[in-house]
Amino acid sequence: MSILHTVNKSPFERNSLESCLKFATDGAAVLLFEDGIYAALSGTSVESVVSGALGKLKVYVLGPDLKARGFSEERVIEGISVVDYAGFVDLAAEHDKVQAWL
Amino acid sequence: MSEIVKKFMYLNRKAPYGTIYAWEALEVVLIGAAFDQDVCVMFMDDGVYQLTKGQDTKGIGMKNFSPTYRTLGDYEVKRIFVDRASLEARGLTQEDLVEIPFEDFETEEEIDNIVEIVDSARVSELMNESDVVFSF
């Protein structure tokens, strides 16, 4: 049973990402979107936490939400994949269920 | 206009687009500009994300209101501050932020960029000096 976890809150404002990373198990996927994209950027105070999770989790970030907030794909932490809306749908379809960390 | 001039601070602590706070704050700043008060706008915590350059919202179907920040100088907002620690925690520098010019048409005073990055002691000082703080 593989879960797609979604996080749409800023890691600096809520503990959604922290809880997600604590409970997501090996092989699960995490999609960062809306204000959740800030966790995917390099150079932040949460970068090491996110990088550390890349060993056991697949992490994705929604491109249109990055662009809306003024960030290019070059600012994204290495190992995180940028997806578009069609990619979001594919991820939802590929996993057994979607768990939203609001 | 009222003869009593108060010092207003608009305090922005929320990222744009994910919630309505940033947009609402901008509307209130623009409305407040009509009342000839002494205004400053402060960005801290996730509020610093409101000022990032290159925002392009075509892909999310929302209005891109970031160009409006660059017009704040035209609304006689002359003091815009960004908390340094908030920027640093997010891996950002002044290079990542929009520049907001100011021009006083009466005195012909021109400033290229009124966005000033300040340390936390200065943030506290500015809050203490304010008569009113509007929080978003």
Domain with A60 in it: 3-89
Q: Do residues B5 and B129 touch, judged by C-beta distance below 8 A?
A: no
User: What pLDDT does B4 receive?
Assistant: 83
Whether A101 is in a domain gets the answer no
Verify whether the Cβ–Cβ distance A41 to B59 is below 8 Å: no
- Tens of pLDDT, residue by residue over B104-132, are 888 888 999 999 999 999 999 999 999 99
Verify whether the Cβ–Cβ distance A35 to B59 is below 8 Å: no
- Tens of pLDDT, residue by residue over A5-30, are 999 999 999 999 999 999 999 999 99
**Distance from C-alpha of B45 to C-alpha of B25, rounded to nearest angstrom:** 15
As a whole number of Å, the end-to-end CA separation of chain B is 26
User: What pLDDT does B2 receive?
Assistant: 57
User: What pLDDT does A91 receive?
Assistant: 98
Q: Which of A38, A42, A84 lies closest to B15 in CB terms?
A: A38
Q: Do residues A30 and A58 touch, judged by C-beta distance below 8 A?
A: yes
Whether A98 is in a domain gets the answer no
The pTM of the full predicted model, rounded to 2 decimals, is 0.94
**Distance from C-alpha of B134 to C-alpha of B29, rounded to nearest angstrom:** 10
* Closest chain A C-alpha to B29 CA, distance in angstroms: 21
Domain with B56 in it: 7-135
CATH number at residue A39: 3.40.1260.10
User: What pLDDT does B1 receive?
Assistant: 53
CATH number at residue B46: 3.40.1260.10
Give how many domains chain B has, as a whole number. Answer: 1
Q: Which of A12, A46, A62, A88 to mutate to test the interface with B (most CBs of B within 10 A)?
A: A12
Whether B1 is in a domain gets the answer no
